[in-house]
Amino acid sequence: MTFPARALMVLLLGLAVMYVPTFMRLAETVWSTDEQGHGPLILAACAWLLWDMRASLFSPSNRPAPGPALALLAVSTAIYVIGRSQQVIEMEAGSFLLTLAACILLPCGWTGLRKAWFPLLFLVFMVPMPGVLVQALTMPLKSAVSVVAEQVLYWAGYPIARTGVTLTIGQYQLLVADACSGLNSLFTLEALGFLYMRIMNYTSKVRNVILGVLIIPISFISNVTRVMILVLITYYFGDEAGQGFMHGFAGMVLFGVALLLTYGVDRLLAARFDEHGGARGER
C-alpha cells in the first residue's frame, strides 16, 4: 500500500509551518552561540540521511500506520504547544523528534520507523540541553580539566599553580571558563562519532558501542590539550595572544586532536573486530 504523494506534501507542509519558526528562534538564540552552534549541522545531516534512505522508507511493502501515528502526533503537538506557549525552547525543539517520528510512521509504518531509527536518534543532539543539566555538569568538568592541565604542565617543568578553576602560570592568571569545560565539545564530538559510525556502517554493535563510549575520554583529552595550548600561548606571548586569534586556533586544535584520536581508536578496534564480523556492511 503506497501513501499518496499529495498527502505527503501536505504532511511536509504542516511540519514546516510548525517548526520553521522554531528553527528561526533557535538560529537567533541558542544556535548562534559557540555552545550549541552544531544544531543546524545536526538538522542538515538528519535531512541528508532521511533523503538517502527515501527509497527504502517508501517501499511499497511498507504499510502505513495511521492510528499510532495520530496518537504520537497528538502527544508531540501537546508538548510543542506547552513549550511554545511557555517559552521552553527545550520542549518546543524536542517535540520535533516525536512529530517527525509520527510523520514517518503515518506513510511508512512501523517498518519505515525502524529503518529511520538512526536519524531520529541523531536529532537528540540538535535539542538544546536543559540549563539545569548544563550547570550540574559544567563545574565538575571545569575542575577536572583544570586539575589535569595543571598536573601535566607541572610535570613538564612549568611554573604553574591552581586555585579552584583559575590557573596561574608565571605572571599570568587564566580562568577556565564554562566554554572550556568540554561539555559542548563532548556533545558535538559524540554527534560526529555517531555520524561517523553511521557512514562507516560497521556491522558489530559491540564495536560501535565501544567507540561511542570512548569518545567521552577522547573529548576530555582533547579539551585538556586545548586548555594547555592556551596556557602556554599566554605564558610565552601574553594575554592578548591567548585571547585573540590563537584562542580560536586552539579550538580547531581540539577537534583536530579528537578526530585523530577517534580514527586511531577506530583502527585499533578494526584489528580486533574486522576479523570477527565487525567490518563494514552493505548499505
- Grid cell 577537534 in the structure block, residue: 255
Backbone angles phi, psi at 61, to 5 degrees: -75, -15
CB 181 within 8 A of CB 255: no
- Cβ of 154: how many Cβ atoms within 10 Å? 14
The H-or-E segment that residue 140 falls in is helix 131-155
Selecting among 180, 272, 280, 283, the annotated active-site residue is: 180
**Stretch (H or E) spanning 234:** helix 205-237
Radius of gyration of the chain measured on its C-alpha atoms: 22
d(CA 125, CA 145): 23
Mark whether 226 is an active-site residue.
yes
Residues in the chain, total = 283
Question: Measuring CA to CA, how many Å separate 73 from each of 2, 14, 129?
Answer: 20, 12, 23
Sequence-distant (≥ 6) Cβ neighbours of residue 186 within 8 angstroms: 215, 216, 219, 220, 223
CA atoms of 15 and 8, how far apart (whole Å): 11
| C-alpha cell recorded at residue 123 | 536529532
Choice among 46, 162, 207, 226 that is catalytic: 226
Give catalytic residue positions: 180, 226
